[in-house]
Amino acid sequence: MDKILSIRSNKQISSLFAEIQNYQQSTNRTEIVNRALEKAIDNKVDWRAISLLKIKENPVESVQPNSMQIRVEYSKYNVVVEEIKEIFDLVRVKAPYLIKLLLSFYLSELRKKDRVILTDVEKMVNWGVDCLVFKKEFDYSEYEGKKNLYELSRRYLEECNPTMKKNIHEQVNTKIKSYSDFFNRNKYFPKPRSDFGSCNIVFVSKVLAGLFLMMSEIWDFDIEEILVYLETEVNNLCS
C-alpha cells in the first residue's frame, strides 16, 4: 500500500533535492525519497547525528514548487517514522521534517561513497592486481548495465584519469608478456606482430569495469550506485 506525502517546499528541502540530483541526475523526487527509505531501513541510522548536519542552502534556486506530492511505500515509511518517533520522543512526525532527515541521511551516504569508490579502485590499481581476472569478471558478468559501465569506465580513463589508464595498460602488458615468455615464439610460431603483448583501450576499460563489478560483489557497494556515481564523476570532471 502506498502513501502520498504532501510537502510544502522550503529552501532546505529544495537544496537537498538539488544536491542529491547532482549525484543522480536521472532520478525524480519520488525515486530519491524511496531510495532513501530503503537505505535507511538497511542501515542503523543515527538520526540524532543526522539532525545536526548543516544544510547548505542553494542561494540561486530555479522555479520552486510551492508544494510537492511524493508517493512512498507505506510499510517502509512507517518503519522510519516509528524510529524517528522513538529517538526524538515524538507523538507525530510531520512530513517536511521526515523528508529533511531522510534527504540529509541519503546525501551523507552518497558523499561517503563519493570519497570511497574511486579512492579504493585507485589504491587497488596502484598496489597491483591481476587485471586479467577483472577482464574475465566483466566478460562473464550478467549485469544488464555492463555496457554502460564499460562506456563510462572508458570515458573515465581517457578523459579523467590517464594515469590510471597508463597504470592498468602497463600491468596488463606485463602479464601478457609473462605468459608469452613461456613459449619459444621463434621456434613454434611465425614472427609476432609488432604490437604483440600489448592491449588497447577497449581491453583496459573492461578491466576497470570488471573491477567495479567485483567490488560490488565483495564489498558493500550497490552496482547501480557505482554506475550513478561514475556517471556523475565523468560528467562533472571530464565534460
pLDDT at residue 103 greater than cutoff 90 = yes
**Any domain includes 121:** no
Instruction: Provide the domain limits for residue 157.
Output: 128-238
Domain-terminating residue out of 79, 114, 149: 114
Give the pLDDT of residue 197.
55
Q: How many domains are contained in the chain?
A: 2
Instruction: Single out the residue in 69, 89, 114 at which a domain terminates.
Output: 114
Q: What is the pLDDT of residues 211-235, one digit of tens each?
A: 888 877 766 667 877 787 777 777 7
CB 87 within 8 A of CB 48: yes
- 51-87: per-residue pLDDT in tens? 888 777 765 454 455 678 899 998 999 999 999 999 9
pLDDT value, residue 63: 47
The answer to whether the CB of 206 falls within 8 A of the CB of 140 is: no
The SS3 call for residue 191 is coil
Q: Is residue 103 part of a domain?
A: yes
Does 132 reside within a domain? yes
pLDDT for 116: 60
Burial per residue of 91-107, b for 16 or more beta-carbon CB atoms within 10 angstroms, e otherwise:
eebebbbbbbbbbbbbb
pTM: 0.53
**Number of C-beta neighbours around residue 23 at 10 A:** 21
- Regarding whether 105 and 157 lie in a shared domain, the answer is no
Instruction: From 86, 114, 142, give the residue that closes a domain.
Output: 114
Helix (H, G, I), strand (E, B) or coil at 126: helix
Residue of 76, 79, 73, 70 lying closest to 99 (CA atoms): 70
Neighbours of 51 (CB within 10 A): 15
Sign of the four-CA dihedral 59, 60, 62, 63: positive
Residue 110 has pLDDT above 50, yes or no: yes
In whole angstroms, what is the distance from residue 71 CA to residue 191 CA? 66
Q: Is residue 123 part of a domain?
A: no
